[in-house]
Amino acid sequence: MMSRCQVFLRSSIGKKLLMALTGLFLIGFLVAHLAGNLTLFVDADGGAMAVYAQKLADLGPLLWIAEVGLFVLFVVHLGLGMRAAMENREARPARYKDTAPKGGRSPASVTMIATGVVILLFLIVHLIDFRLVDGLFAHPEPATLAKVVVERLSSPLGAAIYFFGMVALGVHLWHAFQSALQTLGLRHPAYDKSIKCVGAVLAVGVAGLFAAFPVLCLIYKGDWPWS
Amino acid sequence: MSAGHDDHGSGGLDLTLHIWRQESSEAQGRFETYPLHDVSPDMSFLEMLDVLNEQLVREGREPVEFDHDCREGICGSCGVMINGQAHGPDRETATCQLHMRRFKSGETIFIEPFRARAFPVLRDLVVDRSAFDRIMSKGGFVSVNTGAARDANSILIPKENADLAMDAAACIGCGACVAACPNAAAMLFVGAKISHLGLLPQGRPERSRRVLAMVAQMDAEGFGNCGNIYECEAACPKAISVENIARLNRDYLIASATERPPTASGGGA
């Protein structure tokens, strides 16, 4: 006999709900990550980012717990997405010769798996670049972090990887936010438009600001004209 | 528009039809091509298929099997994919209500059955949609004494609930939502049914049990997972809103958390 929780989490709606919740937490992480990153632009010598990175490092065990939590969130989100994609393929074994949309889909909504895979590949590169430089069990040196970031992002290849990674993130987020709320059952004509609007601002704002890092690093190489 | 067209004259359409032919569920299907000349633009899509079938029978060939019944858009029998669109290009229109004036002479039309693992093809364009019936049998009903009709106002129903329930009750169970969904999910159908019953006082007592049982059956039938792509709503001949899917998600979550099985000792002192 399966427990009530097991029945829920094995149902299509339960899995989707878990995916929506993990996705919303990941959006929360993105916003915090972005806020931290913006310290890069405060000064040309990377002092502000060093202070920020040091503060994170000073969290000690709390940082480890946060990292493990983030990893679990990501794995659950990714795992459920992959599983849903496989089940959905099985749900239509014979394909149509051709399908013509009747107006429901958006480029973002039908490419969630594709953009998700691009984000996964990007994340692997990103972790190798900045998180695993001193190995899995050591965090990168706060004092030189800004220099490492600018170095990586000011090469044309690095800038391209980070820029297009963020384009994929933006497209993913465009559908993600309103889709997550729909899965949570939060839909009402009174706030449908607001939800879509917040989702769009999140997608363009978060991905756009992240994408500004490679662009500005490529142009100014860390020597910010405003600092 | 149809005005001025002569049904038997030169105003007819010349069409090339590519129709999915499949002898049985097990057989391998394929497209076959049928030229059809002088089709009246005033015909419905199904009448056009009737004309084709008469022609095929005259030639001693097997007619194309397709489902149909009321031919007035309310029975839900007649869905096919027309050029990759469930029920064809018009919104809020079942295949039987689609007219040939929507097509141009010289056009090529691909006609396919609705495709989903849960809707196996029986023959040609006919699919087995009894998966929907099995979902309904798990809770798509109200267990009340259906004796004498009650006074219409003896149970008060808020106007907005009555409206929402009526909108959901417009679902004819044609399966276009499944056919149009990139994931072959049945969430719009189930969402419509739980909304139609659960929003009304008569359906409330079984609201939790209903949603749990119907979703379990929906999953067991092998439909896909909803990706909130909303192609279902766009393809629905009755314009059932995806708001019903949000209500389904909500009801399922609440029912999972709060439903308790009936106990033998329950009730009274």
Kindly provide the ipTM of the predicted complex, given to two decimals. Answer: 0.94
The stretch A139-168 carries a mean pLDDT of: 95
Please give the pLDDT value at position B1. Answer: 41
Least confident range from B167-171, B198-202, B232-236: namely: B198-202
Interface test with B, best of A92, A113, A184 (most B CBs within 10 A): A92
Q: Which of A4, A87, A104 sits opposite B232 (nearest CB)?
A: A104
The stretch B106-113 carries a mean pLDDT of: 98
DSSP three-state, residue B169:
helix
With CB atoms and an 8 Å threshold, state whether B117 touches A17: no
pLDDT above 50 (res B234): yes
∠ CA A99-A83-B194 to the nearest 5 degrees?
70
Closest chain A residue to the Cα of B260, Cα to Cα: A4
- Residue B202 tokens read as 């008569």
Chain A: nearest CA to B196, how far in angstroms?
17
Contacts of A152 (CB under 8 A, 6+ apart): A129, A130, A158
Interface test with A, best of B228, B240, B252, B256 (most A CBs within 10 A): B228
Mean pLDDT of chain B: 93
Question: Residues of A with CB below 8 A from B81's CB?
Answer: 96, 99
pLDDT above 90 (res A172): yes
- CB within 8 Å of chain A, chain B residues 219-258: 219, 222-235, 242-243, 245-253, 256
Nearest Cα to A95, choosing from B20, B48, B140? B20
The stretch A97-106 carries a mean pLDDT of: 92
- Residue B195 tokens read as 């909304």
Question: Residue B7, by phi and psi: left (phi above 0), alpha (psi -120 to 50) or beta?
Answer: alpha
Closest chain B residue to the Cα of A190, Cα to Cα: B243
**Cα–Cα distance measured from residue A108 to residue A174, given in angstroms and rounded to the nearest whole number:** 6
The stretch B190-208 carries a mean pLDDT of: 95
Please give the pLDDT value at position B5. Answer: 45
With CB atoms and an 8 Å threshold, state whether A91 touches B110: no
The stretch A186-213 carries a mean pLDDT of: 96
Over the stretch A38-54, which tens digit does the pLDDT of each residue have?
999 999 999 999 999 99
With CB atoms and an 8 Å threshold, state whether B116 touches A4: no
Cβ atoms of B77 and B174 closer than 8 Å: yes
A79 touches chain B (CB under 8 A): no
The stretch A22-28 carries a mean pLDDT of: 98
Contacts of A227 (CB under 8 A, 6+ apart): A41, A42, A43, A44
- C-alpha distance from residue A86 to each of A82, A90, B216, B224 (Å): 6, 6, 19, 9
Number of residues that this document lists for chain A: 227
B62 touches chain A (CB under 8 A): no
A15 touches chain B (CB under 8 A): yes
Please give the pLDDT value at position B146. Answer: 66
- C-alpha distance from residue B123 to each of A188, B18, B102, B114, B174 (Å): 41, 16, 27, 12, 17
Cβ atoms of B18 and B30 closer than 8 Å: no
- C-alpha distance from residue A44 to each of A39, A60, A143, A152, B217 (Å): 10, 28, 13, 16, 61
pLDDT above 50 (res B57): yes
Partnered with residue B82 across adjacent β-strands are: B85, B111
Would you give the DSSP letter of residue B3?
T
pLDDT above 80 (res B7): no
In which band, very low, low, confident or very high, does the pLDDT at A2 lie, cut at 50, 70 and 90?
A: confident
With CB atoms and an 8 Å threshold, state whether A104 touches B233: yes
Nearest Cα to B176, choosing from B119, B219, B227? B119
Question: Residues of B with CB below 8 A from A92's CB?
Answer: 115-117, 183-184, 224
Cβ atoms of B178 and B119 closer than 8 Å: yes
Greatest alpha-carbon span in chain A? 66
Closest chain A residue to the Cα of B190, Cα to Cα: A13
pLDDT above 80 (res B147): no
With CB atoms and an 8 Å threshold, state whether A88 touches B224: yes
Helices B187-198 and B130-137: crossing angle, nearest 10°?
30
Nearest Cα to A96, choosing from B158, B119, B37, B11? B119
Per-residue 3-state assignment (H helix, E strand, C coil) for chain A: CCCHHHHHHHCHHHHHHHHHHHHHHHHHHHHHHHHHHHHHHCCCCCHHHHHHHHHHHHCCHHHHHHHHHHHHHHHHHHHHHHHHHHHHHHHCCCCCCCCCCCCCCCCCHHHHHHHHHHHHHHHHHHHHHHHCCCCCCCCCCHHHHHHHHHHHHCCHHHHHHHHHHHHHHHHHHHHHHHHHHHHCCCCCCCCHHHHHHHHHHHHHHHHHHHHHHHHHHHHHCCCCCCC
Q: Which of A13, A91, A100 sits opposite B184 (nearest CB)?
A: A91
Q: Provide the b/e sequence for A100-129 (b: ≥16 CB within 10 Å).
A: ebbebbeebbbbbeebbbbbeebeeebeeb
